[in-house]
Structure 1
Amino acid sequence: MKKLVLAYSGGLDTSYCAKYLSQEEGFEVHAVSVNTGGFSGEEIALIKEKALQLGATSYTSIDALEHFYEKVVKYLIYGNVLRNNTYPLSVSAERIVQAIEIVNHAKKIGAEYIAHGSTGAGNDQVRFDMIFQILAPDIKIITPIRDKSLSREAEIKYLQENGIDYSWEKAKYSINKGLWGTSVGGDETLTSNLPLPESAFPSQLIATDPKDVKLGFFKGELVSVNGQKGTPVQNIITLDAIASEYAIGRDIHVGDTIIGIKGRVGFEAAASLIIIKAHHLLEKHTLSKWQQFQKEQLGNFYGMLLHEGNYLDEVMRNIEAFLSDTQRNVSGEVSVSLHPYRFELNGVNSGNDLMNASFGNYGETNKAWTANDAKGFIKILSNPGKIANQITQNDD
């Protein structure tokens, strides 16, 4: 039999692929899921049971949580990356790591084929295919959903006809949960005007009393929550558990897809949005004006390349080196208040706070220059404007 590795999540698309490829196409299907957050031990056990029920020869779960943080998430924090100033790249960031792990597994077991459940109208097909083609050009890529232009209804019908119970209600919303956030897609996100209903979001409002949280950073990494130290991954999970009870981090992102059409997707990303905003505030206190300016340019560029599947381009390693270097003084504690559906940044406490310099207090007193110094500085600073105004004052 033809040995094939299937990127398997247990959702509708990959369930169809597992059944169809093993039963109709005669492949020896080896289902692989890559845990980049969002899967408990019990859920992984259920995913394995389902994969084998669908016809997979084997099932493998790869724990890539720490790898995902070290290779991707860390730099999204350093760069304060929010696509279109909104979306923290929750799913697109995961896909890169998942694709690399799947290629490595395919090589390990000597598979001649790799399959995934992407459609022909989304970004994931590009991300998966690019990684596969670059790292394993000799392995053939199989994509039944894309090649057969299948609707979700058609996939459900096929599974039901083959004895697999799969309801439309279960498939109504496509939910992808990971360490850095959860995406939510459904009928409403295919429109331009409809919001997602409250019930579509995995986390519901539980807490209503405001709560203060203190986030400790060391060289740009989250090292503590409320004084309790842990690894960055542990701290992200802890913060998400606290903030999700307030239904924080919900939004709908609208952006340009890799394939050139507009796309709309809902998401909830409590921890990632709070961390990025808190980290950014700390940087405002500890970095120079020009460091912040250059970081913003390169952070946005890094996010764009990552989103579009270009993670393996060497320029990404160059940008990561720059972003890492900027974090040398980004240490301190940020105070955050949590409220239903929102959060507030209260302030920072850092030994590297540039506001603590003895040069003066903004808008109040100056200690390092005289009034005449200020007047002379302003006079020289205005020279370019004076010259331009003199030359162009008679222009229409």
Structure 2
Amino acid sequence: MAKAAKNSKKKVVLAYSGGLDTSVIIPWLKDNYDCEVIAFAADLGQGDFPSEAALEKKALATGASKCYVLDLRKEFLEDYVWPTVRAGAKYEGTYLLGTSFARPLIAKYQVKIAQMEGAYAVAHGATGKGNDQVRFELTYAALDPSLEVIAPWKDPKWEFNDREGMIDYLDAHKIPHTGISKTKIYSEDGNLWHLSHEGGILEEPDKEHKYDMLKHTKTYEKAPNKASYVTISFDKGTPVALDGKKMGAVELLEKLNKIAGENACGLIDIVEDRLVGLKSRGVYETPGGTLLYKAHECLEQLVLDKETMFEKQKMAMTYANLVYNGQWFTPLRQAMDAFIAETQKVVTGDVRLKLYKGNVIPAGMKSPYSLYDLGLGSFSNVEMYDQKDAIGFIHCFGLPLKTRALLLGKKTNVEFGTVNVKKKK
């Protein structure tokens, strides 16, 4: 990491990606706050993440005094992604939270660097209409509330209203903006877990996009005509092996991304409700993550009892909202992790999946903690279950309904339909 000469200016640590917004923000901060800007970039497995040297060179050329680049891929998966998978959390039932749990990790190290450098403020490039502003700023508040927050998109001094104007600004200052143009202006956010696409034609939900932005996932039409199979092994809810070979978190997900993307798995086009109250449309590529969620769900179905599964599924919605809303460093999420960890003690085993043109189909599962009894699960009579016992069970279970019908009769407001049924002679 290159070091600049010491000066007396106040320091600001910027969450830096080298993309459009943060490339503009470095010179803008210097012009408007007369400060020293220290850039911090997190390697979370972005497919197009530049080398440390290239990113540092660009940041310094843009006006930063220093640039920290940290490889956080392992911590990202093990401490943020895997807990969310174990929770079964999906925002609004579909979104696998790829951007959501990345922001608290980035902000945590941003705070740490600010403390090391003696900075008075931290800055981010999230807009005032999105979720990321909340995720960054809640983390700052939780970890070091003494830091000031500079959010240019919400700053009265910010003169840009759209991405086109920012491109003109970069051109005027001779700052490169690789991969961004006025004709291909999708806003992308990627990491090892997913890649999101927003903007452009995606801002019009009545129009079909052409999937011209995809980088990790094939379209359904281009996927192979032959199915692929993959076996994922879990230990206490954590993925640990692929097709019988033990792997670290990063290697495992990279391999899953490749096979799932080849088979068009993990591609969704959704309209979601942002925390700030508006709706937005996005295309998300989460190939390997989609397989992990499905395999984990299959294994839980095999080993968890009904009541535990019921409570855990309810909790998954709350957990998803916490992650989506940037409430990672909260007592509630930590307490929920304790409950989830208890449920995961038996989530050990193997799940085989069949992949075909975007479909993820269970093709077998096994666990030493399986609660599936072949005799009980079949249609055959077994000693442990006497089918005649169901008579008394249904009598007791249905007693409230029977009592209500006997006492209220037609007052129950049950409609028998409008079809004329004639009595047969």
Would the TM-score normalized by the shorter structure come out above 0.5?
yes
Contact 1:93 1:306 in 2 (8 A): yes
Of 403, 407, 410 in structure 2, the residue corresponding to residue 387 of structure 1 is: 403
Matched residue type, 1:66: K
C-alpha displacement at 1:29, in angstroms? 0.9
C-alpha displacement at 1:264, in angstroms? 1.8
Of 162, 165, 172 in structure 2, the residue corresponding to residue 161 of structure 1 is: 172
CA distance in structure 1 between the aligned counterparts of 2:305 and 2:387, rounded to whole angstroms: 25
Q: Where does residue 15 of structure 2 map in the other structure?
A: 7
CA distance in structure 2 between the aligned counterparts of 1:150 and 1:131, rounded to whole angstroms: 27
Seen in structure 2, the aligned counterparts of structure 1 residues 343 and 289 have a Cα distance that, compared at 3 Å, is same
- Give structure 2 stretches of 5+ with no counterpart: 1-8, 414-425
Q: Where does residue 113 of structure 1 map in the other structure?
A: 121
Within 5 Å, give how 1:145-224 maps onto structure 2.
145-147=153-155, 148=158, 150-166=161-177, 168-169=181-182, 172-205=185-218, 208=224, 209-224=226-241
CA distance in structure 1 between the aligned counterparts of 2:145 and 2:336, rounded to whole angstroms: 26
Of 31, 45, 49 in structure 1, the residue corresponding to residue 39 of structure 2 is: 31
Q: What SS class does the counterpart of residue 365 from structure 2 fall into?
A: strand
Contact 1:13 1:145 in 2 (8 A): no
Contact 1:118 1:146 in 2 (8 A): no
Contact 1:80 1:277 in 2 (8 A): no
Matched residue type, 2:76: F
Contact 2:216 2:257 in 1 (8 A): no
Q: Where does residue 64 of structure 1 map in the other structure?
A: 72
Q: Where does residue 374 of structure 1 map in the other structure?
A: 390
Q: Where does residue 3 of structure 2 map in the other structure?
A: none
Contact 2:121 2:148 in 1 (8 A): yes
Contact 2:164 2:182 in 1 (8 A): no
1:193-237 Cα shifts (integer Å, max 9, x gaps): 223322111125375132111111111111111111012332122
Seen in structure 2, the aligned counterparts of structure 1 residues 171 and 105 have a Cα distance that, compared at 3 Å, is farther
Q: Does 1:338 pair with 2:376?
A: no
Structure 1 or 2, whichever has the larger Rg, is 2
CA distance in structure 2 between the aligned counterparts of 1:126 and 1:171, rounded to whole angstroms: 27
1:81-109 Cα shifts (integer Å, max 9, x gaps): 11111110000111111111111111111
Seen in structure 2, the aligned counterparts of structure 1 residues 352 and 244 have a Cα distance that, compared at 3 Å, is same
Q: Where does residue 55 of structure 1 map in the other structure?
A: 63
C-alpha displacement at 1:116, in angstroms? 0.8
CA distance in structure 2 between the aligned counterparts of 1:325 and 1:190, rounded to whole angstroms: 42
How many residue pairs are counted as aligned between the two chains?
Answer: 395
Q: Where does residue 138 of structure 1 map in the other structure?
A: 146
Normalised to the residue count of structure 1, the TM-score between the two structures is 0.94
Q: Where does residue 135 of structure 2 map in the other structure?
A: 127
Q: Where does residue 417 of structure 2 map in the other structure?
A: none
C-alpha displacement at 1:335, in angstroms? 0.7
Q: What SS class does the counterpart of residue 240 from structure 2 fall into?
A: strand
CA distance in structure 1 between the aligned counterparts of 2:55 and 2:122, rounded to whole angstroms: 19
Q: Where does residue 348 of structure 1 map in the other structure?
A: 365
Seen in structure 2, the aligned counterparts of structure 1 residues 336 and 77 have a Cα distance that, compared at 3 Å, is same
Q: Where does residue 419 of structure 2 map in the other structure?
A: none
Contact 1:12 1:171 in 2 (8 A): no
Seen in structure 2, the aligned counterparts of structure 1 residues 201 and 41 have a Cα distance that, compared at 3 Å, is closer
Of 313, 332, 335 in structure 1, the residue corresponding to residue 330 of structure 2 is: 313
Matched residue type, 1:123: N
CA distance in structure 1 between the aligned counterparts of 2:286 and 2:76, rounded to whole angstroms: 16
Seen in structure 2, the aligned counterparts of structure 1 residues 213 and 288 have a Cα distance that, compared at 3 Å, is same
CA distance in structure 2 between the aligned counterparts of 1:203 and 1:37, rounded to whole angstroms: 13
Q: Where does residue 83 of structure 1 map in the other structure?
A: 91
Q: Where does residue 423 of structure 2 map in the other structure?
A: none
C-alpha displacement at 1:363, in angstroms? 3.4
Q: What SS class does the counterpart of residue 352 from structure 2 fall into?
A: strand
Within 5 Å, give how 1:245-324 maps onto structure 2.
245-324=262-341
1:257-287 Cα shifts (integer Å, max 9, x gaps): 1111112221100111110111001100110
Seen in structure 2, the aligned counterparts of structure 1 residues 40 and 187 have a Cα distance that, compared at 3 Å, is closer
CA distance in structure 1 between the aligned counterparts of 2:96 and 2:118, rounded to whole angstroms: 35
Seen in structure 2, the aligned counterparts of structure 1 residues 40 and 132 have a Cα distance that, compared at 3 Å, is same
CA distance in structure 2 between the aligned counterparts of 1:261 and 1:40, rounded to whole angstroms: 30
C-alpha displacement at 1:393, in angstroms? 1.9
Matched residue type, 2:331: E
CA distance in structure 1 between the aligned counterparts of 2:380 and 2:388, rounded to whole angstroms: 17
CA distance in structure 2 between the aligned counterparts of 1:266 and 1:317, rounded to whole angstroms: 30
Q: What SS class does the counterpart of residue 166 from structure 2 fall into?
A: helix
- Give structure 1 stretches of 5+ with no counterpart: none
CA distance in structure 2 between the aligned counterparts of 1:316 and 1:370, rounded to whole angstroms: 44
CA distance in structure 1 between the aligned counterparts of 2:350 and 2:117, rounded to whole angstroms: 47
Matched residue type, 2:392: G
Contact 1:88 1:180 in 2 (8 A): no
CA distance in structure 1 between the aligned counterparts of 2:130 and 2:22, rounded to whole angstroms: 15
